[in-house]
Amino acid sequence: MSVLYDWSADATPIDFVDKESWPVHAETLPPPIRAFAKASGFDGKAGALLLAPGPEGQPALALFGVETPGGRFRDPFLPGKLATALPSGLYRFREGSSDPFSAALAFLLSSYSFTRYVAAKKEGPRLCAPQGVDRARIERIAAAVALGRDLINTPANDLGPEALASAALELAARHGAVARAVVGDELPAENFPLIHAVGRAAAQAPRLVDFAWGPSDAPKVTLVGKGVCFDSGGLDIKPSSAMLLMKKDMGGAATALALASMLMDGAARVRLRVILPIVENAVSGNSFRPGDIYPSRKGLTVEIGNTDAEGRLILADALALASEDEPDLLVDFATLTGAARVALGPELPAFYTGDDALAQTIEAHGRKLGDPVWRLPLWEPYDQQLDGKISSAVNVSSGPYAGSITAALFLRRFVAKPERWAHFDLFAWNNSTRPGRPEGGDIQTARLLYDLIEDYAAQRSKGA
């Protein structure tokens, strides 16, 4: 796990500069460094890095270009470039950053590497904790993101339903949460028929993990995460090219666990509940089939229009369970639809909620923390496309359009109070490396919700 180090005056300083203020800043530097920067053509361009040598050849100062005057970043992760561009050694921020918290977090997020199957290539640079920032919070967020990234990056041969459930139960035990797992044929016996139907064809039995943590008199916050450890598409099998990233189809569960880790480690005053339906969508003689009709926990019957729309089925039972406890805030995470990626691309998760005020709060926290989201509508006229002719509902709409919206509308049918619910349709993956976001699995929306839930709990406590 990447961590910050104790502040040291002997660490190599890093100055954040921009093109506008660079000429003035350059005049404050020692003449040899100023001359070296001029000879190197450094001008403060965003993302540019110059490591100036001292008299003995050792690094004396790092200059890093930011995007706007005052040390602000249009991309708050831009300082993460330092974690991969600087040579090994100990560094500290000296001046020019208006947001050292975000810069330090970006550094740690960029320092992440997935080393389960191959050793790290080299020792990277280390960063002193900036003075005046909440060091513990930065490390807490970075550790939780690393936990989620590790889960997503692990292939399905090593992270099937058993291993994902074990990871969730280990996290719960570490924080003293009360946990249980419902496995295999226990699922229909305990009224989780859709989870069982989707996962029963796999070699490892389907399961539901459910844990609770925090004082019983605190605001109830429930997180639900889609845990499809691999999605073949079932009998409506995917083409091979579409299966290449399907180890990440448990990214919703990984996101829920990362957020839960932040909240529990930070001792947030909430009654936290985490519900993870965990399956592999496989093909065998007892696979669920197109045209099958199954009951759900809520009592609605569901006709299967496509077995590759399995995530919403397992979430339906989990959301029904979550609603029975009447949480003050119910949030679900799922790598649910390609349609959301077509609409918004991989970097901008779609979200839905039945409450305009909650939507505005989510968007505000996303902007503040550089954890962007975009609200899509729960468009009522599309809901009728999910009405079944011989069942209460079908799991896919009758047309090819608005796939993310109709998926969200399907989920809404299983939520008791949609005005207290938010659904996030995630990608949970970086196709290429950018500052703060290495290629591979990633955790989207957890940082904004960590901040939002803490604020929500504080407001509720004041109003009590």
Quick: pLDDT tens for 244-260: 999 999 999 999 999 99
Q: Residues 182-195: what's their mean pLDDT?
A: 98
Closest CA to 260 of 249, 276, 246: 276
What's the mean pLDDT in 131-160? 97
Identity of residue 10: D
User: Which residue reads 């666990």 in tokens?
Assistant: 257
Q: Round to whole Å and give the CA distance between 184 and 162.
A: 11
Catalytic residue status for 122: no
Helix (H) / strand (E) element for 50: namely: strand 49-53
Q: How far apart are CA 381 and CA 396, in angstroms?
A: 15
Of these residues, 207, 271, 298, 312, which one is catalytic? Answer: 312
74 counts as catalytic: no
Cβ-based neighbour number of residue 206 at 10 Å: 31
Could you tell me where in the chain the CATH 3.40.220.10 domains are found?
Answer: 12-131
DSSP label at 55? T
Tokens standing for residue 167: 């990871």
Q: Annotated catalytic residue: which of 34, 137, 238, 269? A: 238
Q: Where are the alpha helices (DSSP H) in 184-223?
A: 186-189, 193-199
Assign domain 12-131 to its CATH architecture.
3-Layer(aba) Sandwich (3.40)
DSSP H or E stretch at residue 393: strand 393-394
User: What are the strands of the beta sheet with 125-127, ordered from one edge?
Assistant: 49-53, 59-65, 12-17, 89-95, 125-127
Across 161-304, the runs of DSSP E, i.e. the strands, are: 178-183, 207-213, 220-225, 227-231, 271-281, 293-295, 301-303
- pLDDT value at position 67? 75
pLDDT of residue 329: 97
Q: What pLDDT score does 29 carry? A: 94
CATH class of 139-463: alpha beta
Q: What residue ranges of the chain are covered by domains with CATH 3.40.630.10?
A: 139-463
Question: Which amino acid would we find at residue 243?
Answer: M
Asked if 168 and 274 touch (Cβ cutoff 8 Å), the reply is yes
Angle at which helix 135-153 crosses helix 161-174, to 10 degrees, equals 160
3-state secondary structure of 77: coil
Q: What's the predicted TM-score (pTM) here?
A: 0.96
pLDDT band at 463 (very low <50, low <70, confident <90, very high): low
As a whole number of angstroms, the longest Cα–Cα distance in the chain is 82
DSSP H or E segment with residue 463:
helix 446-463
Q: Which residue in the block uniquely carries the two structure tokens 């591979």?
A: 440
* Residue 71 pLDDT > 50: no
Give pLDDT, residue 52.
95
